[in-house]
Structure 1
Amino acid sequence: MSQEQTVEYVDSLVVGSGFGGSVAAYRLASAGRSVVLMERGRPYPPGTFARTPSEFSENFWSPPDSLYGLFETWSFRGLEGVVSSGLGGGSLIYANVLLRKDPDWFVHDSPLPGGGYENWPISREDLDPHYDEVERMMGAAPYPYTDTSKTVAFEEAAHRAGLRTLRPPLAVSFAPEREGRPSVGLVAAAPYGNIHGSERFTCMLCGECDIGCNYGSKNTLDHTYLSAAAHAGADIRTLHEVKGFRRLDGAWEVRYRVHDPHTGVGIDRVINATRLILAAGTFGSTYLLLKNRASLPGLSTAIGTRFCGNGDLLGFLFNARESIERTAKARRLVSSRGPVITSAVRVGDRADGDDSDAKGRGYYVQDAGYPGFLNWLMELSQLRSVISRSTRVAARMLASRLFGEARSNVSRDLASAIGKVSLSSSSMPVLGMGRDLPDGMMYLEGGRLQIDWTTATSIDYFAHMRATMAKIAAELGAEYADNPLWWAKRVITVHPLGGAPMGRHPYEGVVDAWGKVFGTEDLWVLDGSVMPGPTGPNPSLTIAAFADRAVTRQLDSPIPRRRRTPVRSTPEERTPPMDAESPADPDATSVRFTEQMKGFVKLGASDPRDAYEDARLLDEKFMFELTISTPDIDGFVADPLHAGSASGFVDADVLGGQVPVERGWFNLFVQPGNAAERRMIYRLWITPDSGAPFTVLGVKDVHDDPGFDLWDDTTTLYVQLLTGHVPPPEGGERGDLLPVGHPEVTGAGLLRIKPLDFAKQMTTFRTTGPEGAAAVAGFGSLFLGQLWDTYAGLAARED
């Protein structure tokens, strides 16, 4: 950041434009608060969603690969995930369903197999008035048509199977005006303004809801809450991706990147906000909290827990048949006609109360549709029969020419080549979702989001759901088939939930019943990550209602007044400048080598020894790779502090991944006062994406104990992670760790180097200058002759 640039201030910064973020932005802006909403993806006005193969090939989100499209796909242990990136968040690709969470499914203290329990600190009564408001804003109404083939077939089959159907409310414009008569392809009203300035039309019944509606018929968040928020004064910014945040001077300093899809270059900037609302989705918000937790010392240890996929399961019904005068005939379902979901059945849950005889965990099964062009792909999957028919027709046409028949009208022949296809017209996907077990764990590994979740603990739930799908298929005379991933007991979720669950206290959850993050000030999470378990039905409405309730409470308390004078903020103000390097002495010889140490560090601890075992059990990996340099080996040897410099990087999940060392000090041997003791000291300044500066202080304590412990002394580094960029003490480095409980200590642990890694380190020594090998020998002599021989011997044996 240049010195001319200033940092913005805003009352409320909302991260993400999905069901939580859009609701929050609208409610706050309409109450007169200054609001900035940042969405990492781009806007999608009607007519801009991908349709061609070329467009679809680039329709994925991965900025490092120059992809700035709509879909973001994930693959984790036990499941795949699909979410969206664009203005309107998940509403751009969801199936429009706005169902309320069942009252009895707000369970309390429901045990989980691996320990713990699912507990909802809110009730249906808490959310009902907010459900009402969201439904009104979204224009929710049941599917109005009664002659849609797939809907009629699904409902008839469900009734014959003893299941009761319902038409769920859909956020779709079926009529030009609300409460009007349904009509296809008419201009639709824009009651909240039009953030895109593009004309919208009533539902075309094209089945393209899940890949983006190019007619603007879906009442997605950009057409509802975001248009209303913009009209109320909210500053809505696309291609703005938040990277990190920290608390500074009574506000949140937030770092973000502005993407430029044309150049692939991002510009990093900073904004300050009195209130910060994370609504980047289950994957996005949990990742940001995990990545920035070193700057959130009060963050609950429940972070990353209670993950589930809302019981999502995809199944298929193929070759539906109906009996007509004792003849089985293909039944036309035409799943590409209508919105994706039009009807649903609900299967009861043992939590439904005394009147229910249900034994398992409840779920919904819904009909599903797809875009019309997929019909061609389905028929092409029958390529062998297509080729056979085409070959016979071609032979017949050739014979006609050869033997003089010469028919000029070949319509019959082409119809025969296509054949009486029925696979696509007689097949239908079905979608299931419900109360799977929220026992998954989200965490960082190598700075990347990872999830441990498995279908094993929910296998009975999935078995019941698949049986219901098969029962509906049987009533249609169809074959039921699992999606291919089920053979590996994997599922695809489009409804990831949990990771920052709400709870009654910080030992149970990350946020309270209103989304406020425990142990922090003015930080909220308002998206699917706060759900402490599955919602059961499609979760969009519950997320939006939860956000509406949370913001209502925020508005009940006045926002603190903050300074509004722009404050200059430069890198130099955050990080003291490096000392100017002395001109290179042509007669001096420098030595450098590379060292790598690995271990475990735990946040919230200050004693390295006590913290190590806990950090190891939590798998909180911490490592660094440093190049140690001595510009003048003679001066280095003569200096009693034996001071050199360190450059490289620290890689730790508690810091969000790999962080470069901005400045580093290294002291080979320092005598702290005891003639029998020496210390090797590392002091590294780092600043992760949160913007919060930290110092890694590491000490190897070499002292004369009974027995042979030189190897352990010189390969074990006691580490403390300090808040701020803490310089070496005046008078020289002594390597004193801060006392246990010191407020500046953010974390602690141990790092070690193994013999084989040390052997590799020995090969990294390099020199510059006239001394050459003599310089390395001088360094070795300083390294305590006995210790040097020990290291060299061990390294030689390991190699």
Structure 2
Amino acid sequence: MAGVETADVVIVGSGFGGSVAAHRLADAGLSVVVLERGRAWPPGSFARTPAEMHHNFWNPEQADYGLFDVLEFRGFDSVVSAGLGGGSLIYANVLLRKDERWFVKDAELPGGGYDYWPVTREDLDPHYDAVEAMLTPSRYPFDDPQFAGVPKTEAFREAAVELGLDWQLPPLAVAFAPKPDGQPGIGLPVIEPSYGNLHGLPRRTCRLCGECDFGCNDGAKNTLDHTYLSAAKAAGADLRTMCEVQAIRPGGPGYQVRYLLHAMDGSAVSKRIDCERLILAAGSFGTTRLLLGNRAHLPGLSPALGTRFSGNGDMLSFALHTRRDGRPRAMHASRGPVITSTIRVPDELDEDGGIGRGFYIQDSGYPVILDWLVQNMDVRGDLSRLAGFSMNRLRAALRWAGPDHLEHGIGQLIGTGSLSNCSLPLLGMGRDVPDGVMRLRDGELDVSWTTETSRSYLDRVRGTMRDITAALGGEYLDNPLWFRKRLAVAHPLGGAPIGRHPGEGVCDPYGEVFGHPGLYVADGAAMPGPVGANPSLTIAAMADRLCDHLLLARGMSGRSPARGGQRRSGGTTQATPAAPARLSGGRTGAAALSFTEEMAGQVTLGEREGPAPLRLRVTVAIQDMDAFLADPRHEATATGWLDCPALGGRLLVARGRVELMVTESAGGRRRMRYRLPFTDDRGRRLLLSGHKELRAGPPTAIWPDTTTLHAKVLADGVTLGAGTLKLGRRDFLRELTTIRAGSPGALERFGTFFLGSLWQVYRPRLTS
């Protein structure tokens, strides 16, 4: 329709799922529009004063477009964020992988049914790698003298040792050094990656101010706006803030999306955009509510919609008045990043004798300004000090004999601050029971969820928190909500879970909604149960996997020209694009054949010291099998990334080429050539040039010859370094699972070509 705005992909939400998808798909050459209901929050813009905090809540009806959206349900309260970067703006930075054995299969739920994860840790590991390469997590450097003034870390470790618990420093998405693997320092300028930063403002390393959950005004957190979204914008993604999606409908090239464009004065304008692919990433509450509210227009949605809600086992408590050797023990909860260390309590699924459902407990913190609020909770101490101060002033007045100095009296009135100084919040999370149900009541989201079915799990978490508090010499206090058997949920999950079939989940294991091709869920709503660990990394890894699936299904593995010969960037379409070819299963524009290859090894760079590790992951795609077989170079496209710390970390390969089984001589020698352009962290345009050499020999030579890539790193034809990369056996098995054929007979024809080439090289030869 002329005048209707269109895009290849619309993404609703900019959290850990939406941001990953925005970057991956924009970098592959698709026109991507991200609709985020909140506004951008550059460093320095987060509220700190009482007046600013008064308006720092999401309430468009009152023209408040703040960071926090506080939701109250019947069994729990929850806080989510509104802003460009989603939950990363207010999370506590922890990037832990889901425990391998916690990907449960057919675990019975108390209310009936089963807890089933249709993906495995092995499925997600390469995607965990990819996300970590982008977010560059590091562990808290508490052994460094500059960062040693955070006593809660050491105290937490001592408690764990005393109790025989597993203690660790988890990876944190925080810049403690100006660049990854650099020397840590406080308040140093952060060196931006090659794609820059969408805010255009300087960042500095962590100042240990404890403000992570309130928004980092220093930009020390590697939040999604500083990483994935900045890279997405550099790749051409259109990031739109203050856009709250109201309705989704099948139509146009795939889906119609209607949204409100909010203005800061409280007004709003209704807008529409059409897209071929629609990715919902508005969080567990936002995505589930959109699907429930538009169910009548999306016929055939799974009956599992709204099910499998979980709070990821969240539990908050406090260790008050900690002591050691009879003396107050300082915790300084307001110093450092919010979380520095974690304790893991094993699960019955583990091999180390765990009982029941496993969990993590982490030291926690808050901004220094809250020390005053915490201290004011000491009502008895306040009254006692006030009475003492008043009596002293009365005595001084009765025996007045000259000027009186008040310093000592005022110090007594303020007190020692032992409650705030010697107390520590404890944050727990783990494998609670995912049996909550989400539905709409009078148009509002309602969640039916109780702590009863998770009572044994919650009691174990509270018991361990009590033990930790005792080891710290403190007094245990439950979250006041617990007195009403309510929870504070920071990690809502479920509502549109993945599953093996529509009877089990709303989406398939890649996040595509059953019965609605091109509609995806890429956030916490897709989780079929609790992650157990902090869920952010797993949500991002699942989104990265979703993008591989989407691009392969669309016949793409990286950048390609826009359909109809004209690149679109989310603007109004001026010409009707060419109709894409329809293939089996109703998908569009699939490559004839594609597969993903991953190799690792080392390269020695002349201008650097020693060999540098390098990992390569590319998707090789053959667009036209006839042309491929007729071409003596047998050329295919290759897109993906290479990861080399010495060159700047994970670097994108956008327009690579691979030649497969090129005949080198009449003697039957073959070569596979790789030409993979990329840009390093210094902005240099480099080329990874490599080849695999296949020479006549015994069949035992097939494996080393076809899995060893001899590689060089070139700059304008000059060799900067060289080395070898190898395909491991596990990588090879994983590669087999990535083969996708998009046209009839393509796999058989490619197999005949490839195996025939191997036969020509390694066939037995008669000698005289």
TM-score, normalization: structure 2? 0.71
Instruction: Give the CA deviation at 1:438.
Output: 0.4
Deviations 1:282-313 (A, max 9, x none): 00000000111111112111101111100000
Please tell me the residue identity of whatever aligns with 2:537.
Answer: L
- 1:529 aligns with 525
Instruction: Give the CA deviation at 1:395.
Output: 4.5
The answer to whether the 8 A contact 1:35-1:235 is kept is: yes
Deviations 1:213-251 (A, max 9, x none): 111111100011011111111000000111111111432
Whole-Å separation in 2 of the counterparts to 1:411 and 1:546: 59
**Secondary structure at the residue paired with 2:420?**
coil
- The 5 A counterparts of 1:522-671 are 522-556=518-552, 557-558=554-555, 561=563
Whole-Å separation in 2 of the counterparts to 1:521 and 1:421: 59
Whole-Å separation in 2 of the counterparts to 1:250 and 1:200: 41
Match of 1:474 among 467, 470, 482: 470
Please tell me the residue identity of whatever aligns with 2:348.
Answer: R
Change (3 A) 1:391 1:272: same
Matched, 1:465 2:467: no
Deviations 1:27-74 (A, max 9, x none): 011111111111000110111111111211211112123221111111
- 1:177 aligns with 179
**Secondary structure at the residue paired with 1:276?**
strand
Whole-Å separation in 1 of the counterparts to 2:268 and 2:222: 31
Name the larger-Rg structure.
1
- 1:318 aligns with 320
- 2:667 aligns with none
**Secondary structure at the residue paired with 1:480?**
strand
Number of equivalences = 558
Please tell me the residue identity of whatever aligns with 2:257.
Answer: V
- 1:363 aligns with 359
Change (3 A) 1:521 1:380: same
Match of 1:330 among 319, 328, 335: 328
Instruction: Give the CA deviation at 1:399.
Output: 4.5
Whole-Å separation in 1 of the counterparts to 2:401 and 2:220: 53
- 2:392 aligns with 396
Instruction: Give the CA deviation at 1:340.
Output: 0.6
Please tell me the residue identity of whatever aligns with 2:297.
Answer: S
**Secondary structure at the residue paired with 1:289?**
helix
- 2:447 aligns with 451
Please tell me the residue identity of whatever aligns with 1:308.
Answer: S
Whole-Å separation in 1 of the counterparts to 2:572 and 2:485: 55
Whole-Å separation in 2 of the counterparts to 1:511 and 1:90: 22
Matched, 1:66 2:63: yes
Matched, 1:138 2:130: no
- 2:402 aligns with 406
Deviations 1:167-225 (A, max 9, x none): 10000000112111111111112214111111111001011111111111111000110
Whole-Å separation in 2 of the counterparts to 1:239 and 1:56: 19
Q: Which moved more, 1:444-453 or 1:70-79?
A: 70-79
CA RMSD of aligned residues (A): 1.8
Matched, 1:374 2:370: yes
- 1:498 aligns with 494
Deviations 1:569-606 (A, max 9, x none): xxxxxxxxxxxxxxxxxxxxxxxxxxxxxxxxxxxxxx
- 2:647 aligns with none
- 1:284 aligns with 286
Whole-Å separation in 1 of the counterparts to 2:455 and 2:323: 30
Whole-Å separation in 2 of the counterparts to 1:543 and 1:385: 45
Whole-Å separation in 2 of the counterparts to 1:36 and 1:101: 30
Whole-Å separation in 2 of the counterparts to 1:313 and 1:387: 31
- 1:211 aligns with 214
Matched, 1:14 2:17: no
Match of 1:118 among 93, 101, 115: 115
Instruction: Give the CA deviation at 1:383.
Output: 3.9
- 1:84 aligns with 81
Please tell me the residue identity of whatever aligns with 1:255.
Answer: R
Instruction: Give the CA deviation at 1:382.
Output: 2.4
Whole-Å separation in 2 of the counterparts to 1:485 and 1:400: 45
- 1:750 aligns with none
Whole-Å separation in 2 of the counterparts to 1:205 and 1:567: 49
The answer to whether the 8 A contact 1:400-1:406 is kept is: no
- 1:348 aligns with 346
Whole-Å separation in 2 of the counterparts to 1:333 and 1:431: 15
Change (3 A) 1:450 1:404: closer
The answer to whether the 8 A contact 1:348-1:356 is kept is: yes
- The 5 A counterparts of 1:218-233 are 218-233=221-236
- 2:276 aligns with 274
The answer to whether the 8 A contact 2:253-2:275 is kept is: no
**Secondary structure at the residue paired with 1:369?**
coil
Q: Which moved more, 1:552-561 or 1:41-50?
A: 552-561
- 1:244 aligns with 247
Instruction: Give the CA deviation at 1:408.
Output: 5.3
The answer to whether the 8 A contact 2:211-2:366 is kept is: yes
The answer to whether the 8 A contact 2:6-2:573 is kept is: no
- 1:508 aligns with 504
Please tell me the residue identity of whatever aligns with 1:203.
Answer: C
Whole-Å separation in 2 of the counterparts to 1:540 and 1:567: 36
- 1:418 aligns with 414
Whole-Å separation in 1 of the counterparts to 2:572 and 2:129: 41
**Secondary structure at the residue paired with 1:81?**
strand
**Secondary structure at the residue paired with 1:129?**
helix
Whole-Å separation in 1 of the counterparts to 2:297 and 2:473: 59
Whole-Å separation in 1 of the counterparts to 2:64 and 2:463: 40
Whole-Å separation in 1 of the counterparts to 2:489 and 2:391: 48
Whole-Å separation in 2 of the counterparts to 1:163 and 1:334: 23
Instruction: Give the CA deviation at 1:490.
Output: 1.1
Whole-Å separation in 2 of the counterparts to 1:388 and 1:301: 60
Whole-Å separation in 1 of the counterparts to 2:250 and 2:84: 27
Whole-Å separation in 1 of the counterparts to 2:377 and 2:317: 18
Whole-Å separation in 2 of the counterparts to 1:274 and 1:88: 24
Matched, 1:197 2:188: no
Instruction: Give the CA deviation at 1:403.
Output: 3.6
Whole-Å separation in 2 of the counterparts to 1:460 and 1:395: 51
Deviations 1:741-774 (A, max 9, x none): xxxxxxxxxxxxxxxxxxxxxxxxxxxxxxxxxx
- 2:153 aligns with 151
Whole-Å separation in 2 of the counterparts to 1:290 and 1:393: 60
Please tell me the residue identity of whatever aligns with 1:205.
Answer: L
Whole-Å separation in 2 of the counterparts to 1:177 and 1:567: 41
The answer to whether the 8 A contact 2:252-2:275 is kept is: no
The answer to whether the 8 A contact 1:40-1:242 is kept is: yes
Please tell me the residue identity of whatever aligns with 1:254.
Answer: V
Instruction: Give the CA deviation at 1:385.
Output: 3.0
Please tell me the residue identity of whatever aligns with 2:233.
Answer: A
Whole-Å separation in 1 of the counterparts to 2:563 and 2:185: 51
Change (3 A) 1:32 1:289: same
**Secondary structure at the residue paired with 1:350?**
coil
Whole-Å separation in 1 of the counterparts to 2:53 and 2:443: 29
Whole-Å separation in 2 of the counterparts to 1:445 and 1:531: 23
Whole-Å separation in 1 of the counterparts to 2:9 and 2:437: 30
The answer to whether the 8 A contact 1:186-1:202 is kept is: yes
Q: Which moved more, 1:275-284 or 1:244-253?
A: 244-253
Whole-Å separation in 2 of the counterparts to 1:492 and 1:416: 36
The answer to whether the 8 A contact 1:315-1:430 is kept is: yes
**Secondary structure at the residue paired with 2:411?**
helix
**Secondary structure at the residue paired with 1:351?**
coil
- 2:603 aligns with none
The answer to whether the 8 A contact 1:12-1:276 is kept is: yes
TM-score, normalization: structure 1? 0.68
Instruction: Give the CA deviation at 1:401.
Output: 5.8
Whole-Å separation in 2 of the counterparts to 1:386 and 1:8: 62
